[in-house]
């Protein structure tokens, strides 16, 4: 059974960098035909795709965040990570990691982690 | 970006009702559309992919239809566990985008 788990600080100061890691268990992050993505959801609001990565390192980002986002993968640890720089209160959200197939539907999700941006 | 517009934003229904949710894309996306269910405090769950294909393990009372710009999610015989918020997602073009959500509430 595939399991994804987000980890990282729950509180980040404005202008600093938000860093999260997603640990994948029950399956290999290097499997063919799967992409690994980050999606966020501000409190009480809808879903926003942040970016996705293939195990080879190919990345796809939301242009609205592209200048601040880096998604990376560590196949040796079966993990992928999100870095979001220069955060503001608008970046406060529940951050989800998720797996998608070739057609980018997210079929497995982590439980989500709330990150609050506040001084 | 492709904008996804869902309607209604909320609907009140009773157990046993049929509920229909609509999703409209700002440009044609063929059948590259998925539907998700999200319960409070939980991650979204994929229900439908490619507009009309039921994800494994999803009850058959859920169905999807449409192509191009107009899509529908139908829940036949609404069950207590179906009260949730539903989102559509287009996967035709990056950036991947979601609709604003439709909350299905108990009447």
Residues of A in CB contact (< 8 Å) with B are 46-49, 52, 60-64, 96, 98, 103-107, 109-112
A contacts of B9 (beta carbons < 8 Å): none
B22 has pLDDT over 90: yes
Mean per-residue pLDDT, B81-93: 97
What pLDDT shows up at residue B104? 98
Measured CA to CA in angstroms, residue A26 lies from A22, A40, A56, A116 at distances of 13, 23, 20, 30
If you search the block for the tokens 């970006």, which residue do you land on?
Answer: B1
pLDDT band at B107 (very low <50, low <70, confident <90, very high): confident
- φ/ψ of B80, rounded to 5, equals -55, -35
End-to-end CA distance of chain A: 39
Mean per-residue pLDDT, B10-14: 97
Peptide bond into A14 cis (omega under 30): no
When CB atoms are compared, the residue of A60, A104, A111 closest to B43 is A111
What's the pLDDT tens digit per position in A71-115? 999 999 999 999 999 999 999 999 999 999 889 999 999 999 999
B10-13 and B102-106: which strand pairing? parallel
What pLDDT shows up at residue B85? 98
| Residue of chain B with shortest Cα separation from A95 | B43
What's the pLDDT tens digit per position in B31-52? 999 999 999 999 999 999 999 9
Mean per-residue pLDDT of chain B:
97
B contacts of A113 (beta carbons < 8 Å): none
B25 has pLDDT over 90: yes
What's the pLDDT tens digit per position in B54-83? 999 999 999 999 999 999 999 999 999 999
What pLDDT shows up at residue A102? 83
User: Quick check: A46 and B87 CB within 8 A?
Assistant: yes
Mean per-residue pLDDT, A3-15: 98
User: Quick check: B89 and A105 CB within 8 A?
Assistant: yes
The residue among B82, B66, B64 whose CA lies nearest residue B11 is B82
Residues of B in CB contact (< 8 Å) with A are 1, 32, 34, 36, 42-46, 49-50, 55, 87, 89, 91, 94-101
């Amino acid at each position: 059974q595939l399991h994804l788990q987000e980890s990282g600080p729950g509180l980040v100061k404005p202008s600093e960098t938000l860093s999260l890691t997603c640990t994948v268990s029950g399956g290999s992050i290097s499997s063919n035909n799967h992409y690994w993505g980050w999606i966020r959801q501000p409190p009480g609001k809808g879903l926003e795709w942040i970016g996705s990565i293939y195990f080879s390192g190919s990345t796809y980002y939301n242009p609205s965040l592209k200048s601040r986002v880096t998604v990376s993968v560590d196949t040796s640890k079966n993990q992928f990570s999100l870095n979001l720089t220069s955060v503001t209160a608008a970046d406060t959200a529940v951050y989800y990691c998720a797996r998608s197939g070739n057609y980018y539907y997210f079929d497995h999700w982590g439980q989500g982690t709330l990150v609050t941006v506040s001084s | 970006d492709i904008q996804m517009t869902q309607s209604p934003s909320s609907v009140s229904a009773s157990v046993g009702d049929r509920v229909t949710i609509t999703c409209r894309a700002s440009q044609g996306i063929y059948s590259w559309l998925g539907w998700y269910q999200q319960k409070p405090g939980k991650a979204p769950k994929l229900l439908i992919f490619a507009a009309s294909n039921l994800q494994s393990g999803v009850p058959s009372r859920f169905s999807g239809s449409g192509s191009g710009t107009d899509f529908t999610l139908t829940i036949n015989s609404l069950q207590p566990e179906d009260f949730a918020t539903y989102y559509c997602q287009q996967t035709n073009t990056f950036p991947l985008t979601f609709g604003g959500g439709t909350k299905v509430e108990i009447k």
